[in-house]
Amino acid sequence: MFVDTSCSESVRRPPPKPQRASGKVRMVFRRRDGVTHLFRLHQDGSAKVRFPRATNGIPEAVLINTAGGMTGGDVFGTEFELLEGARATLTTQACERIYKSTGALVSVTNRIEVGAGARLDWLPQETILFNGGRMTRRLEADLADDAELLISEATVFGRAAMGETIQSGTFRDRWRISRDGKLIFADELRFEGNIACQLMRPAILAGNAAMATVLLVASECEQFLEPVREIIGNAGGASAWGGKLLVRLAAADGFSLRRVLIPLLAEFSMGRSLPKVWQL
């Protein structure tokens, strides 16, 4: 007697696991002979970093995700350390895209240490959340007593130019900034479920689809408050207290957001131009 078991075996066989991407980059910069140099570098998986030639003596680190985007289950992380007196800028090669997930979250963890007298400008390009995308991101920074830090994180919900809108998904963004181990700034952002409805609320984005949070931690940051308010106009708000200046921006789309964000970051950078990849 012949029994065909091929069908039953195929039923019992577990489904193939989806391919997931992961990557980690660790960088350490130090100042020597008056110039900041890369001291240590480790890169793993789909996370890579490149260093364009510095034109002003301040090195730029450009993060690259060779996976071409992120989706549920992907895990990425960056560790960035500036030793005493060093200065550097971190950015990304392009906007990071968070694609639809079947349930799992994209996980991104960024850790920053800025030593005495050092300054880091953390300026990644926008994160684009597609419909059904699910992401959680953490940023933890510890600064020395006189260190400075500029952070900009921009998010676009869908791509209006391509006729794409976002209806649902998850986006969580958690910031914890400390100075000498003492917490000085905490921020928690969470969109979950019906994001389209949440974006329409007047107290959230009032129908806009792009937003940015910019934070400058520096001893004399209050001097930027009035110039910053002139730059952003009705696109957001700014406040300064205790050596921190915080800006919230909202815009109809990513292009409109950049029209405000670029001159704002240039003001914080004392007129120095943004990384080259922002201008390509």
DSSP state of 275: P
State the Cα–Cα distance between residues 43 and 49, nearest whole angstrom: 7
Instruction: Specify whether the CB–CB gap between 197 and 222 falls below 8 A.
Output: no
State the Cα–Cα distance between residues 236 and 3, nearest whole angstrom: 71
Q: What average pLDDT does this structure show over 73-99?
A: 96
Instruction: Specify whether the CB–CB gap between 135 and 164 falls below 8 A.
Output: no
pTM assigned to the model: 0.91
Other Cβ atoms within 10 Å of 131 Cβ, number = 16
Q: What is the pLDDT of residue 6?
A: 52
pLDDT bracket for residue 3 (50, 70, 90):
very low
Q: pLDDT digits over 7-66, tens only?
A: 455 556 665 666 789 999 999 999 999 999 999 999 999 999 999 987 777 899 999 999
Average pLDDT taken over every residue of the chain: 91
C-alpha neighbours within 13 Å on the C-beta side of residue 71: 12
Q: What is the pLDDT of residue 110?
A: 98
Q: What average pLDDT does this structure show over 172-184?
A: 97
Dihedral angle computed from the Cα positions of residues 192, 197, 201 and 206, in that order, rounded to the nearest 10 degrees:
100
pLDDT bracket for residue 269 (50, 70, 90):
confident
Q: Where along the chain do its domains lie? A: 28-279
Q: pLDDT digits over 127-155, tens only?
A: 999 999 999 999 999 999 999 999 999 99
| CB burial string 9-43: b at 16+ within 10 A, e below | eeeeeeeeeeeebebbbbbbbbbeeeebeeeeeeb
